[in-house]
Amino acid sequence: MRHTLPIAPQFYVTAPQPCPYLDGRMERKLFTALQGDHSEQLNDALSKQGFRRSQNVLYRPSCAECSACLSARIRVADFKPSKSQRRTIRRNPNLRREATSPWATEEQYALFRAYLDQRHADGGMADMDIFEFAAMIEETPVRSRVVEYADHDGDERALRAVCLTDMLDDGLSMVYSFYDPAASASSLGTYVILDHIEIAREAGLPYVYLGYWVAGSTKMGYKARFSSLEVYHGGRWKDIGDPADYSSDTHPLSTDPIAEQVARISLPDTRPTSAM
């Protein structure tokens, strides 16, 4: 099934498949290829409209009867950590941030496998081998970094967490993160988000994009615990307010027809400017 705009890119719809967040649901995605000379502009523009990147694809949920998945981002200037989040920072005094180019290592993959086996053994990535992992990290047509968090104790270094991060024109997009499941008391997932907020603050970027918050999903509930959280809902970004106000109920009219969705997508102007 294919839908096109008068200008590139082309948009497609995936076949329905089981939803990883809500039992008994079927998910469907609207997506387009991310390639060519204007990949960064397209990534910037569509990220502001609720899309996410996976390798060289940009996608957004477009389920037939469910609209529980909402893209979420933190307003950096207004963010204030909670007491528990401040404790998380104090709990990890030996962690050091090390930002590198998007290059996969065996050390990263070992941590990734431990994370999946403990946290997401039945997820869609459970069977990912080291070559597929390398593709996830390295196949990026935009400005990306791998941000590693290592525990340093004297001359000893132990990798504890990793985040693949895209640099957008208005923020940081946390594409995928994973961490040591044996260090659950350290709240490493929360720590990585808090540190990305600090990176964005230092860089003067207004937002940190967290991916999707899903009403009714316990897996995604942690995102609503960050202050100054916005969700992309009804074609615009707004403060999340009370998470309990959002419903995960299905409804046959909850999602607009694909053609209407595509027609409302704003694309970047990539026409060359003429010299005066």
Q: For residue 57, what pLDDT is reported?
A: 96
pLDDT of residue 125: 76
Nearest to 254, CA basis, from 230, 233, 224: 233
Domain boundaries, the chain: 73-216
What are the strands of the beta sheet with 207-214, ordered from one edge? 95-100, 144-153, 156-168, 171-179, 207-214, 69-75, 229-233, 236-239
Instruction: Please give the pLDDT value at position 254.
Output: 77
pLDDT score at 77: 98
Q: Which residue has the tokens 């964005």?
A: 200
Angle of CA points 163, 169, 172, to nearest 5°:
20
Predicted confidence pLDDT, tens digits, the chain (276 residues):
555 444 468 999 999 999 988 999 999 999 999 988 899 999 999 999 999 999 999 999 999 899 999 999 999 999 999 999 999 999 999 899 999 999 999 999 999 999 998 877 666 677 889 999 999 999 999 999 999 999 987 778 999 999 999 999 999 999 999 999 998 889 999 999 999 999 999 999 999 999 999 999 988 889 999 999 999 998 999 999 999 999 888 888 778 899 999 999 999 986 665 544
What does CATH list as the number for 73-216?
Answer: 3.40.630.30
Rounded CA-CA distance 138/102 in Å is 5
- Global pTM value: 0.92
Q: What per-residue confidence (pLDDT) applies to 248? A: 85
Residue type, 264: R
